[in-house]
Amino acid sequence: MVTRSATPTTVDAVNPQRRLRNLMLSLGAAALGVLVLYLLDGLGSSKLTQALALFAIWGIATVSLNLINGTLGILSLGHHGFMLIGGYTTGLLTLSEASRQNIVNSGRSTMTDGTLALSVTNLFNTLGLTGLTTPETEWVRFVVAVLIGGLVAAVVGLIVGFPSLRLRGDYLAIVTFGFGEVIRLSASTRIFSPITNGALGFAGVNGSFGKSVWWTFGFLALTVFVISKIKYSSYGRAMQAIREDEVAAEAMGVNLAYHKVLGFVISALFAGIAGGLWVSWLAGVRLEYFLFQLTFFFLVAISAGGTGSITGVLLGTALVVFVRQYGDPLEETYSLQTWLYLAAAVMALASVGAFALRHFRRIRPRFHLSVLVPAVLAVVGVIVASLDPAFLDGTFRGFGMRAIFLSVLLIVIMVFRPEGIVGRTEFSWGRLFGDDRSQPTEEERRQDAWLSNPALNPGAAGPLTSATGTDPSTPSREGSA
Amino acid sequence: MASLGSTRRSRRWLPYVVVGGLLLLIVLRMFYLMSLEGRFNGAFFLRALIDSVKLGSLYALIALGYTMVYGIIRLINFAHGEVFMVGAFVTYFLFTVTPYGWVSALFLAMVLAFGVNRLVALFRASPRDPLTWAATAVSFVALFFLLQAGTWPFWAALIGSMLATGVLGVAIERITYQPLRTAPRNSLLITAIAVSALLQNLGLLTLTNRQTPFRPPTALLDPIQLPIDGLVVQTNGLFFAIPLLTVVLVLVLHNFVRRTRLGRAMRAAAQDAETAQMMGVSVNKVISTTFFIGSVLAAAGGALWGLNFGSLNQPAVLGILPGIKAFAAAVIGGIGSLPGAVIGAVIIGFSESFLTALFPRTGDFQGITEYKDTFAFILLIVVLLIKPSGIVGEDLSEKV
């Protein structure tokens, strides 16, 4: 097992002044965030609050997926399957009596009386908690349903995880993808349609919770809290060891299967919660809401922001949600001339970007074909578009432009900056204020003293110590301490 | 782990028992259905067999691309299903649009001539060979006029689509995978997923967003009646054409990999790319060639797929299911191995068509047919969990 060290080794933790400052700053930022949410919520449901709620919901999903993809280093492609389970569970458990009656009356449903009776209201009635079945306490029932959805997803995650996590690398990616698709494809089959209502799904899920910034951001805060706690615990360090080198981690005593399954189950739990909020945001449950595209969006968010960093993942999620919610102008109908100008602009951007990259990374020649060809195309495009010839008279609708934009973004990031925008670094006040890290901390001083003391550490008298001791160009840290 | 070898040896009989038992179950179920009244006679199951041969051949054409790419750069090429989709649509446009305007004819002729260039370069020592360039130039001029001349017959559209799609495969590799040669494998896989999403949405944007009828005027579609043992089975020329073309292409590929210089380089790079590079093999060229061949085969699969089913689904979904099933076939056979891909494809095609034939919607076990598309996944997962190296594959588990 990885041992838990006595004190954390960050600068902020050992400097009481900085620790207080950081605490105050965190509290202030949280209060500011709450104030902003309060003001926005006061304006009523708008496009912005919906986008914020979606950001929070997808944030839960991406942060939980990042626990597998970033911290554990396993590419999991089945997140939409776990979200589907959480979504269907929440949808079924919170469906109103009227909607249930509609399902019965439609006559096309395959649901039975037994499955139609599955609801949190009935659960509370059975338990004798009739006080919680009133309209005023609907939030209790919703939260309970979302948590049950998360638990069901976690159980499925356990069932899926146990056999498949014995595999490694891309075989594992394929199996998770396969399980995700099996979950999605079998939801509409005869076996499961009494619970899922087949291809029809459920209409009329209460949308007031999923669209409320309070509930969604509350769950997001819970997710970030739990996942970051795990990340910085001994479990998280074991998971990161697995990410870096499985064989070495196993040799150091990390139980591979245990930590993998643990990460998988926790991730599935939060995916289920995200699924419950997602169906509430959509105010309905249908199979089309849980396509592989969902996992693709999450992958874009994680890879763009920074694989392994919660800060980066939330940043990437904000980017993806922004494109999804405010990218409609890309998908409208414009004249072909406008599109040609746009294409020329993209080409010009590509040319400038390629030039800048070659310049700063000192790749020669700077005027490579990858710079010249887009430049020439851009110039030709602008000239042709400004001449306005007859064949540019029509119009064209940019159907699916947002997805194209996101996939191009993902390819560009993968090719030029595979670690994402922020890499693996997390946000911290110390980093923001540029706290001095040139001096070793108390903890590091103690470690260094131990390492350099031959009485305590007999191995230190090896060639490494003598080499550093005789080299005047590298002043050793022990000397300054 | 020393005991593992002996355990494996003592269980040699297990696969035979499993496969034999499954076949026995299938035969029993067939006899049971035939004993019932109705349409379940011998001709019904012969049709299922014919379907399974055709499907298996189609999956084999796609699976070869997956297995070749995996064998050389250890990448599960998620975009391969979309390459297949592009192949089907290029065929469609080559035999329907007529005649091409000079702009599109120029563009298409350029792409096709580049494809001819790659094709000739497969068998020449140097790509800068004068013969290669002569062939490229001549084919460019000829194709430019042919595209403007009029409708292409199906076989010409098929060949044209194979060349154009091969060029697409090379372009994808050059632009997106080549810069990631030294990147972690997860990055490569994510890039492949992104390319796949990009091609799906580009297809939706530029081609069509609805079902496309695929009915070229070819004699292959004329109905044929096969009198087999007193039963008459309705089929068409595709029953012969699809397996025949597949067998020819597989044999050409097999001989290419075994006999030519580039094929030998390919095998060397698959075994150990680094050492092969040191021995003078241009690994980049080998990888390009691999993508070219894989995409050419996928395009042939796409064209025949359209011919077989009479229509093409919309571009965003056409490539997904065939791609995934072919990938499952490649893994079941043993990814990285060429015969393995064909064997796996035959298994997938057989199981898919017999699943629908043995458990028809009207009979008992109605629910099983709904798992027709899921079945490939389930088989894939089961094979991965029991024997990740597949039926004939070598052990590809990661090394230290």
Distance between A400 CA and the closest CA of chain B, angstroms: 6
Q: Which of A3-17, B280-294, B376-390 is predicted with the least confidence, judged by mean pLDDT?
A: A3-17
Residues 247-306, chain A: which have Cβ within 8 Å of B? 247, 293, 296, 299-300, 303
* The model's pTM: 0.86
Answer whether B374 sits within 8 Å of A411, measured CB to CB.
no
Question: Domain A47-328 class?
Answer: mainly alpha
pLDDT tens track for A340-374: 999 999 999 999 999 998 898 888 888 888 899 99
Lowest mean pLDDT among A472-476, B117-121, B283-287: A472-476
Gap between the Cα atoms of B250 and B68, Å rounded: 12
- B353-370 burial string, b = 16+ CB within 10 Å, else e? bbbebbbbeeeeeeebbb
Cα–Cα distance measured from residue A471 to residue A473, given in angstroms and rounded to the nearest whole number: 6
Q: Which residue of A has its CA nearest to B203?
A: A400
Which residue in chain B is spatially nearest to A307 when comparing CA positions?
B187
Tokens of B163: 């060349």
Return the SS3 of B85. helix
Q: How far apart are CA B389 and CA A25, in angstroms?
A: 54
Residue type, B41: N
Closest CA to B296 of B171, B151, B120, B119: B119
Which pair of structure tokens corresponds to residue B41?
Answer: 């006679």
Say if residue B196's pLDDT is above 90: yes
Among B198-207, B335-344, B355-364, which is the least confidently predicted range? B355-364
B78, B110, B173, B186: which to substitute to probe chain A, counting the most A Cβ within 10 Å? B186
Query: How far is the alpha carbon of A296 from chain B, nearest alpha carbon, in Å?
Result: 8
Q: Mean of the per-residue pLDDT values for chain B?
A: 85
Distance from CA of A300 to the nearest CA of B (A): 8
Q: Which of B333, B305, B380, B375 is nearest to B64 (CA)?
A: B333
Answer yes or no: are the C-beta atoms of A11 and A430 closer than 8 Å: yes
Query: Do residue B179 and residue A293 have CB atoms under 8 angstroms apart?
Result: no
Task: Please say whether the beta carbons of A153 and A278 come within 8 A.
Answer: no
* Domain regions of chain A by residue span: 47-328, 333-397
Between A97 and B292, where is the model more confident?
A: B292
pLDDT at B11 exceeding the cut of 70: no
Nearest to A436 by CA among A7, A17, A68: A17
Take residue A462 and report the two structure tokens written for it: 């090896």
Q: Measuring CA to CA, which residue among B171, B159, B58 is closest to residue B116?
A: B159
Token pair belonging to B282? 């241009």
Distance from CA of residue A366 to its chain's centroid?
Answer: 37
Selected residue with higher pLDDT from B114 and B43: B114
Q: What is the DSSP secondary-structure string of A170-233?
A: HHHHHHHHHHHHHHHHHHTSTTTHHHH-TTT-EE----TTTT-HHHHHHHHHHHHHHHHHHHTS
The ipTM estimated for the assembled molecules is 0.85
Q: Tell me the residue type at A51.
A: A
Q: How far is residue A258's CA from residue A341's CA, in Å, rounded to a whole number?
A: 55
What DSSP state is assigned to residue A426? Answer: -
Taking the CA of residue B288 and the nearest CA in chain A, the distance in Å comes to 18
pLDDT number for residue A459: 61
Most confident of A386-395, B103-112, B227-236: B103-112
Contact flag B205-A247 (C-beta cutoff 8 Å): no
pLDDT value of residue B5: 42
Which residue blocks in A306-441 are alpha helix, DSSP H?
Answer: 310-326, 336-360, 369-387, 401-416, 429-432
Length of chain A: 481
CA distances from A241 to A76, A173, A225, A231, B238 (A): 18, 19, 21, 12, 55
Chain B CB within 8 Å of residue A408 CB: yes
3-state secondary structure of B399: coil
| B369/chain A closest Cα distance in angstroms | 9
- Asked if the Cβ–Cβ distance from A73 to B205 is below 8 Å, we say no
3 state DSSP class of B334? coil
**Residue B358, amino acid:** L
What's the pLDDT at A14? 57
Beta-strand pair A333-335/A395-397: antiparallel
What is the spatial distance between Cα A285 and Cα A187, in angstroms, rounded to a whole number?
12
B362 vs A29, more confident: A29
CB within 8 A of A342, min separation 6: which ones?
A334
- In B124-237, where does DSSP find H-type helix? 130-149, 154-172, 185-206
Could you tell me where the beta strands, DSSP code E, fall in A238-315?
A: 284-285
pLDDT of B200 reads 93
pLDDT over 80 at B133, yes or no: yes
Pairwise CA distance, residues B333 & B346, whole Å: 9
More confident position, B360 or A350: A350
Q: Which of residues 418 through 437 in chain A touch B, CB cutoff 8 A?
A: 418
Pick the closest to residue A185 from B321, B264, B112 (CA basis): B321
Query: Which distant-in-sequence residues (6+ apart) come within 8 Å of A344 by Cβ?
Result: A377, A378, A379, A381, A382, A385
Residue B91 half-sphere exposure, CB side, CA atoms within 13 Å?
A: 32
Query: Least CB-CB distance to B377: which of A75, A168, A182?
Result: A182
List pLDDT tens digits, range B237-246: 888 899 999 9
SS3 state at B1: coil
| CA–CA gap between residue B59 and residue B62 (Å, rounded) | 5
Q: Which residues of A touch B361 (CB under 8 A)?
A: none
A269 or B33, higher pLDDT: A269
A66 touches A310 (CB < 8 A):
yes
Residue ranges of chain A whose pLDDT lies below 50 = 1-12, 463-481
Task: Render B258-275 in DSSP notation, one character per residue.
Answer: HHSHHHHHHHHHHH-HHH
Q: Average of pLDDT values for B366-395?
A: 76
What SS3 class is residue B89? helix
